[in-house]
Structure 1
Amino acid sequence: MTASVDLAMVNLDSSDPAGHAAFYHEALGWEVTHSQPEYAMISSGGVSIGFGLVEGYRPPSWPDQTGDLAAAEETFLAAGASKPAFQPGGERWVVLLDPIGQPFCICPRPQG
């Protein structure tokens, strides 16, 4: 099967784009291709991660106790997903299998 689309870039909100890019540069070894206080980017192999300044940015809380995993799980199961016995996430996330057996995780969306 030939892919008709490809991932080129992901952007993340940040309170410190240059610092964020520097961290992932060190962690991943990707090149810092742009770095300013309001926006920074790292790139490797035709894929980039951008970090954009968001004034007043607050990082998500983890784990988020306000999400309703049970309701989300029920919705996915009703749509045809199944739930394997092994659940490594405990109370933080649920592993489900789509109708053809591909695993995916659900977790509460960070609030704020």
Structure 2
Amino acid sequence: MTQRVGHLASISLDCPDTELLATFYSDLLGLTEAFATPDRGVIALSGAGTMLTMMRVADHVPPSWPHGPQHQQLHLDIAVQDLDSASASAVALGAIAADHQASPEQWRVMLDPAGHPFCLTAVRPD
């Protein structure tokens, strides 16, 4: 067994507007701001173990999932109790439902305000 070198501190999302995306995920997941650079180009949210960090990228190209040319590189799965009410709440916060829904009875694919796909899911580990 290999000795751990460190702990996962943050998952970072590139986006054109860190304020918009930080507000969205703060409201969606009940997170609070833990850190921000003076220019607010980087905003880290805490409250879920690993931080979720927004990083401003001027030439950000949103993923075009499920078909290219810009494929998703990462997405978040968010466990919820009720897919219908969670989907409605996410939309009220600024998400949109993705056109492609492969298994809507288990996952609802949503797009955050910067176009990143994320899934609301009823799937839980045993």
TM-score normalized with structure 2 length? 0.44
User: Quick check: which has more Rg, 1 or 2?
Assistant: 1
